[in-house]
Amino acid sequence: MIVVSSCLAGLEVRYNATHRLNDKLKQLVDEKKAVTVCPEVLGGLPTPREPAEIVGGDGAAVLDGRARILDRKGADVTAAYIEGAEKALDVVRKLDASLVVLKENSPSCGSSMIYNGEFSGVRFAGDGVTSALLKRHGYEVISEDDFMKRLEEL
């Protein structure tokens, strides 16, 4: 079973109540070969919500207590992101997922790139909180772009 970010399957759960539909991933969900998860929603955050970024590091640093997640207005939403990551891990475990495809650049789901915490549009190499937690538990986590590259290679 594959687990995918809900927004990639067309669900309007992003911070601005939009989606980032990936037709191939939605097809897998429709065929019951993949299940959706949105860590932010699982953590209790509303849709829409203020955009948030990790300040002081990446998702691993958040899990270790060395960084925080703040929304654009300055509210600390770290606890909600950690709760959502833990609930996403529970879903992945229960499904015994073979692959997790998460939305790149997200403070929760980014699997190789995230924003730098300054709300300036600048990104750097790092994992979001959910991606970092899943990787710590041995799960393969990739971005939607990496997923599409794999399909091209087949």
Of the candidates 134, 126, 119, the one whose C-alpha atom is nearest the C-alpha of residue 105 is 126
pLDDT mean over 81-91: 98
On the question of pLDDT at 154 being above 80, the answer is no
152 burial level (CB within 10 Å; 0-12, 13-18, 19+):
exposed
Tell me the pLDDT tens digit for each residue of 21-54: 999 999 999 999 999 999 999 999 999 999 999 9
pLDDT tier, 94 (very low <50, low <70, confident <90, very high otherwise): very high
- Written as one letter, the residue type at 113 is M
Q: What is the pTM of this model?
A: 0.96
Looking at the chain, the whole-number percentage of residues with pLDDT higher than 70 is: 100
CA distance 107 to 102: 11
